[in-house]
């Protein structure tokens, strides 16, 4: 069964992160440069929150916290759902659906080793299924059925 560790091997483990003291404008600029919807909020090596486009819309725009001095720590999400490398894709999709989230930080011994999105999971699962289909076609064609 496919798990998060296998997905990270294919995807890579590049992280987009900011500190809690980062001004939200700088965090959004960093995310935009990487076409990312989220940034992990790290205090040194410790994950303390996640900052998302959703936070910007709901907390900056709607709560009128548009000051250039507003820090990521003022609006980041701190109730985090995380997974481990051995978590299955199905479990991740269930967590994301139940918690209405699109990104999951991946932890190993309380250390961040990656982050996955719903898009990463869908892409990975499609590639896995295409691989199986290709092998089945080869098997059938090889045996003259």
Instruction: Copy the structure tokens of residue 53.
Output: 């486009």
Average pLDDT over residues 71-100: 94
User: In this predicted structure, what is the pLDDT of residue 143?
Assistant: 63
What integer is the mean pLDDT of 54-60?
Answer: 82
pLDDT averaged over every residue in the chain: 88
Model's pTM, two decimal places? 0.82
Among positive and negative, which fits the CA dihedral 116, 117, 120, 125?
positive
Residue 131's φ and ψ, nearest 5 degrees, are -60, -45
Please say whether the beta carbons of 76 and 58 come within 8 A.
no
| Each residue's pLDDT tens digit, 15-55 | 999 999 999 999 999 999 999 999 999 999 999 999 998 88
Q: Where are the domains of the chain?
A: 4-142
pLDDT for 63 equals: 65
| The CATH number fitting domain 4-142, selected from 3.40.50.1100, 3.30.420.10, 1.20.1250.20, 3.10.580.10 | 3.10.580.10
Mean of pLDDT values over 109-116: 93
Query: Which of 86, 84, 83, 85 lies closest to 95, judged by CA?
Result: 83
């Amino acid at each position: 069964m496919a798990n998060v560790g296998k997905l990270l091997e294919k995807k890579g483990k590049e992280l987009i992160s900011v500190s809690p003291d980062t001004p939200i404008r700088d965090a959004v600029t960093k995310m935009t440069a990487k076409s990312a919807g989220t940034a992990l909020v790290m205090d040194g090596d410790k994950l303390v929150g996640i900052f998302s486009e959703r936070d910007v819309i709901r907390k900056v725009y709607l709560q009128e916290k548009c000051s250039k001095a507003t820090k990521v720590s003022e609006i980041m999400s701190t109730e985090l759902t995380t997974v481990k490398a051995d978590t299955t894709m199905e479990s991740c999709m269930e967590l994301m659906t139940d918690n209405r989230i699109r990104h999951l930080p991946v932890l190993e011994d309380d250390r961040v080793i990656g982050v996955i999105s719903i898009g990463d999971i869908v892409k990975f699962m499609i590639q896995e299924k295409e691989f199986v289909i290709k092998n089945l076609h080869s098997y059938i064609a090889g045996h003259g059925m």
